[in-house]
Structure 1
Amino acid sequence: MTGRLYGVGLGPGDPDLITVKAARLIGQADVIAYHAARHGRSIARSIAMPYIRPGQIEELLQYPLTVETTDHPGGYQGALDDFYVECAARLAAHLDEGRNVVVLCEGDPLFYGSYMHMHKRLAHRYPTEVVPGVTSVAAAAAVLGRPLVERDEILTVLPGTLPGEVLADRLRATDSAAVLKLGRTFEKVRDAFAGAGRLDEAWYVERATMDGERVVPLKDVDPEGVPYFSLALLASPAERTFTPEPESATTAPEVVVVGLGPAGRPWLTPEAQDALATATDLVGYGPYVDRVPPNPRQRRHRTGNRVEAERARHALDLAREGRRVAVVSSGDPGVFAMASAVLEAAADYPDVPVRVVPGLTAAQAVAARAGAPLGHDFCVLSLSDLLKPWEVIADRLTAAAKADLVLAIYNPASRSRTWQLPAARDLLLEHRAPDTPVVIGRDVGGPEESVDITTLGELDPAKVDMRCLLIIGSSTTRVTAQGTVYTPRRYP
C-alpha cells in the first residue's frame, strides 16, 4: 500500500490564511517537503511552521540555481529538469514505503506553484490530492481593498517575464490585470503599463499579508530592491467609476406585514426571511417579535395582544419617518391577524406603501400533520366573540354545517372564553353525525406539538385552549386504519 501525495497550498504568507484542511494535513503528514533557494531558507516552511509537529520527516528541495547562469549541457531549463527528477525520486521513495507526503507550496499549488513539477511526475503513479490555497492575486486585491472584477469584466494574469510589447498589448485589451514575477522584470513591466496608457491606474503590492507589506501606486515605485514577492495590479474599472450614495440615503420606507408561520424558521418562507432581514424596525405582539432572532441593527417594538389598531398606526408612523418596518404576525397575516388592521389604518397614510407577505397558517399546518382533511371545500371561522357577536358566529356555524363544509376553527377557547366551544359543538351536532372526525392540533411546529383525532360526539372542550386549532370534518371526511384523516376531492 503506497502513501498518498498532497500538494498543499499555504496562501500568500500569513499563517492564518492557511485553510483548515491544509493545517490538518500538515499536522498529520509523515513527510513534509518544501522548496528553497540555495541559501536554504524556505518561505513555505516558515508559513507552515505553526502546524508542523516534532518528529515529522522533512525533505528540503533546494534549487541548484535561481536566475544565475549554469554550465549544465541542457542550460538553465535542463538543470531544473534534472533537479525535479531527483526531487520526485526522493518523494517516491517515501510514497513507496507507505508514507504520506505533503509538498508545501506558497499561494495555490497549481497557480504558478512550485508543487506542479512534482505533480506532473508523480500524480499518475500515486494517490494524489491538491489542496487549493489563497493566491497572491486574491491577497493583493484584499490588502489593496479594491475589487478585481465585477459582473462580466475580464481579469488577465500575466507573468512579468513576457516580452514588453506582449505585456502592453494584453494590458490594453483587458479590464483588470495582475502581473506577477516582478523582481528583475519590474522596469519592463512598468514601461508596459505606460505603453498601454494604464500606468496611472496601476498599483504595486509587495509581500501581501507578510511582514513588510507595502501598497503604493506603481508609478511611484523605485525599481531598486523590488522583490520577487510583489505584483502589479489593475483593479476593476467599475471601482474607479463608482460614486457612493450619500450617507443620508436609506432604503425606501415601507410597512411589510410578515407572516411568521406557526412556529420556527423551517415554517418561514424565503420572502418572509428577506423582509425580516431588510427591516430596520420590528413591530408586533411581544411573543411574536421574540420569535425573530435579535439583530442590534434593528429596533424592536413589542406590544400587548389587544392593541392592533395602535400597533398598526405606530408602524405606519415609523415608516413615515423613513424606517423600513416589518409588522410580524403568527401564521398568515391575512388570516385573523395584522394585515387587515394595518391596511385599515393605512387609509390615513396614503404616502406610506404597505406590502403583505404571506405565511403558512395554522389550518394548513394542522391539516398537514393530520393528513388532508381540507381536501375539499372548507371554511375558516374564529370562535372569538371579542370583535363580533356570538349570534353572528352561531349563524355562520349553522350555515357551514348545513352546507356540509369542513370547518377550520381558530381561537376555540381561552381562559376567559370557555362556553363557546361546547355551544359550537352542540350547534354542529344538530346537522352533523356524532362520528364526524375532529382534529385537535396544539402548538403545531412548536416544542409542545400534539395532534389528536377524535369525533364530534366525543370532543372534550376541556382539552382545548387558545393554542389549539380544530378541524371538523364533513360527511365525507374519513380516518384510515393508520389514523390519517382526509376528505376526498369527489363529493357524492
Structure 2
Amino acid sequence: MAGKLWGVGLGPGDSELVTVKAARVISSSGVIAYHCARHGNSIARSVAQPYLADGQIEERLMYPVTTETTDHPGGYQGALDDFYAESAERLAVHLRAGRDIALLAEGDPLFFSSYMHMHKRLADEFDAEIIPGVTSVNASSAAVGIPLVEGDETLTVVPGTLPATELLTRFRTADAIAVMKLGRTFTRVRDALVAAGRADEAFYVERASTSVQRVLPVGEVNPEEVPYFSMIVVPGRRNNPRFVDETRTPAGEVVVIGLGPGADDTTTPQVSAELARATDLVGYKTYLARVTPRPGQRVHASDNRVESERAEFALDLASRGARVAVVSSGDPGVFAMATAVAEVAAEPRWQEVAVRVCPGVTAANAVAAAVGAPLGHDYAVISLSDRLKPWEVIADRIRQAVAADLVVAIYNPGSASRGWQVAALKELLLGLVSPDRVLIAGRDVGGPEQQLTTTTVGALDPASVDMRTLLIIGSSATVAVSRPGGDLVYTPRRHVG
C-alpha cells in the first residue's frame, strides 16, 4: 500500500504556532522532507524540530540555485524544473514503498510555498493531504498590532519581485497591502510605496513571530540588512495611525473623474483610488449606478440636464470640508462634467475650492480600439447635440472637418428627444463624400449590450443609432479589411496628398 504525502504548514517561524494536527503528523511520519538552499540549513526543519521523532528518514531537497546564475541549458527556470522533477521522484520512491512523508512548508503549503511544486507532481498518483498553516501575513499583522482590514477594506498581497510599474499600480489602488519576498527587492518596493504615497503608512516586519522579530517604519530600514524572511505590511486606512491625508485641503476639494466607456476594466487605477477616497459621490444617476459606494460615502444623484447645478452643489460640499468625486462616463473633459465644474469654479465665490480632473478612457478611443485603429491619423470630435449649440454650427463644423479630410468621431448622435439628427447627418455626409466612405457605429462598447458595426455612410441606418452609440466617420484614407484573423479598420498615419 502506498504511503501518504502530507503538506505540512508550519506557520511563520515560532514552533508554538505549529498546529496540533501538524505536530501529530510530523511525529508519526516515516519520512521528513524539507527544502533548503545550498548552504544546507532549513528554517522549516528548525521550526519542526520539537516534533521530530527518533528513526525518521530525512530527505533534504537542496535547491541547485536561488538567486545566482546557472549554466543549465534551460536557464534558471530550466534548472528549477529539473530539480522539482528529481525531488518529486525521490519522494515517490518512499511513497511507493509505503512510507508516509511529511513535507515541511514554512507558513502555509499553498501560499508562495515550495510544497506546491511537489503536490502538482505527486497528487495524481498518491494520496495527498494539506495541513494549512499560519501565514507570514497573519504573523506580520499580529506583530504590527493594527487591524489589517476592516469592513469592506480589501487586502492585496504581492511579491516584491514584481516590476516597479506593477508594484506602483497595485499600491495605488489597494486598501491594505502585504509585500512578500523582500531581501534584495526591498529598495524597489520601498520606492514604489513612496511613489504611490503609501510609504508613511507602511511597516517593515522581520522574522515575524520569532525571538529576533523586528518591526520598524519602512523609512527607518537599512536596505543592506533586509533578509528574505521579512515583509512590508500596510494596514488599511480605517485603522492605520500612520495614515495622514496630506492631499485634503481645509476647504475640501472636488475631483472630476471619468469612469471610462462602460467596462469596469477600463476604469483607471487613479480613478478607482479617487473614488475610494471620496466622502461624497456626485453625478448623473446612470453613471453613479456603475459605482459601488463604500460604507459611509454619500451619494448625490441627479438628472443629466442640470450640469451647472450639479457642479455648484459639488463645490458647495467641498467648501464645507468634503472630498467630492464628480462622476462622468468616458473622459470628464470630453463633452462631460470637467468643463461644467471648471466654469462654475471660476466664479469668485468658489475660487478657494481645490479642483482636480482625473482622465478616463474616452468613448471614441474605446470604439476605435474595438475595431482597430480608425483614429490613427488626425481626427475631429464633434457632438451632434444641439442643446447647447445650434444645428447650423454643428453642420458647418462637420463640413469643415470633412473638407479637411479628417476622421470624425460623433458624440451624442441621438436621444429620445432628438430623433432627426442622425438622418440629417447622413444626408449632409452624402453631399460631401462617397456613399462607400467607411463608417463605424459602436454602441455600449465594453458593456453587456456591446454592438459594433462597420458599414458605410450610404448604408447607415439612422434608426439603429441612439444616445449610447458613437459614430466614427472615416477619412478618404480609412480602410476596412476583412481577414480570417479578425476584421480591422485603420487610417494610415502617412498622408499621401
Contact 1:5 1:95 in 2 (8 A): no
> What's 1:279 paired with?
278
> What's 2:332 paired with?
333
The CA deviation at 1:98 is 3.4
Counterpart CA distance in 1 for 2:355 and 2:365 is 25
Structure 2 counterparts to residues 200-349 of structure 1, below 5 A: 236=216, 251-252=248-249, 253-348=252-347, 349=350
Contact 2:9 2:107 in 1 (8 A): no
Identity among equivalent pairs (%): 50
> What's 1:455 paired with?
456
Q: Which SS does the other structure have where 2:25 is aligned?
A: strand
> What's 1:88 paired with?
57
Q: Which piece of structure 1 moves more, 100-109 or 253-262?
A: 100-109
Cα 1:323–1:87 change in 2 (3 A) is same
The CA deviation at 1:60 is 11
Letter in 2 for 1:317: D
Q: Pick from 16, 25, 33 the counterpart of residue 33 of structure 1.
A: 25
Matched, 1:486 2:487: no
Cα 1:328–1:86 change in 2 (3 A) is same
Cα 1:479–1:104 change in 2 (3 A) is closer
Cα 1:250–1:486 change in 2 (3 A) is closer
Counterpart CA distance in 2 for 1:6 and 1:246 is 39
Contact 1:32 1:102 in 2 (8 A): no
Cα 1:246–1:275 change in 2 (3 A) is closer
The CA deviation at 1:351 is 0.9
TM-score scaled by length of structure 1 = 0.60
Matched, 1:393 2:394: yes
Point out the structure with max Rg over C-alpha: 1
Contact 1:32 1:104 in 2 (8 A): no
The CA deviation at 1:94 is 7.1
The CA deviation at 1:335 is 0.4
Letter in 2 for 1:98: G
> What's 2:113 paired with?
none
Q: Which SS does the other structure have where 1:425 is aligned?
A: helix
The CA deviation at 1:365 is 0.7
Counterpart CA distance in 2 for 1:32 and 1:285 is 61
Counterpart CA distance in 2 for 1:407 and 1:140 is 56
Cα 1:144–1:256 change in 2 (3 A) is closer
Counterpart CA distance in 2 for 1:333 and 1:447 is 22
The CA deviation at 1:234 is 7.2
Cα 1:102–1:443 change in 2 (3 A) is same
> What's 1:125 paired with?
none
Counterpart CA distance in 2 for 1:383 and 1:434 is 20
> What's 1:355 paired with?
356
> What's 1:380 paired with?
381
Cα 1:293–1:33 change in 2 (3 A) is same
Cα 1:323–1:32 change in 2 (3 A) is same
Counterpart CA distance in 1 for 2:353 and 2:9 is 57
The CA deviation at 1:481 is 2.5
The CA deviation at 1:268 is 0.8
Cα 1:105–1:306 change in 2 (3 A) is closer
Counterpart CA distance in 1 for 2:259 and 2:137 is 44
Cα 1:237–1:315 change in 2 (3 A) is closer
Letter in 2 for 1:251: R
RMSD: 4.6
> What's 1:101 paired with?
101
Cα 1:5–1:454 change in 2 (3 A) is closer
> What's 1:161 paired with?
none
Counterpart CA distance in 2 for 1:464 and 1:105 is 60
Structure 2 counterparts to residues 412-451 of structure 1, below 5 A: 412-451=413-452
Counterpart CA distance in 2 for 1:4 and 1:389 is 77
> What's 2:172 paired with?
none
Contact 2:5 2:95 in 1 (8 A): yes
Contact 1:3 1:94 in 2 (8 A): no
Q: Which SS does the other structure have where 1:355 is aligned?
A: strand
Cα 1:129–1:403 change in 2 (3 A) is same
Letter in 1 for 2:490: Y
Counterpart CA distance in 2 for 1:85 and 1:300 is 66
Aligned residues: 349
Counterpart CA distance in 1 for 2:6 and 2:261 is 53
TM-score scaled by length of structure 2 = 0.59
Q: Which SS does the other structure have where 1:86 is aligned?
A: coil
Cα 1:178–1:437 change in 2 (3 A) is closer
Cα 1:433–1:299 change in 2 (3 A) is same
Q: Which SS does the other structure have where 1:317 is aligned?
A: helix
Q: Which SS does the other structure have where 2:365 is aligned?
A: helix
Cα 1:346–1:107 change in 2 (3 A) is closer
Contact 1:255 1:325 in 2 (8 A): yes
Letter in 2 for 1:410: Y
Counterpart CA distance in 1 for 2:255 and 2:444 is 25
Task: Give per-residue Cα distances to partners, 1:99-131, cap 9 Å, x unaligned.
Answer: 44337899899xxxxxxxxxxxxxxxxxx9998
Cα 1:32–1:102 change in 2 (3 A) is farther
Cα 1:360–1:104 change in 2 (3 A) is closer
Contact 2:262 2:445 in 1 (8 A): yes
What stretches of structure 2 of length at least 5 have no aligned partner?
32-48, 59-90, 110-127, 148-177, 184-203, 220-239
The CA deviation at 1:277 is 1.3
The CA deviation at 1:144 is 7.9
What stretches of structure 1 of length at least 5 have no aligned partner?
36-57, 62-79, 110-127, 156-174, 182-230
Matched, 1:145 2:137: no
Q: Which SS does the other structure have where 1:327 is aligned?
A: strand
Counterpart CA distance in 2 for 1:441 and 1:140 is 50
Counterpart CA distance in 2 for 1:471 and 1:381 is 10
Counterpart CA distance in 2 for 1:481 and 1:140 is 56
Contact 2:9 2:134 in 1 (8 A): no
Letter in 2 for 1:303: S
The CA deviation at 1:14 is 9.6
Counterpart CA distance in 2 for 1:411 and 1:136 is 53
Q: Which SS does the other structure have where 2:327 is aligned?
A: strand
Q: Which SS does the other structure have where 1:33 is aligned?
A: helix
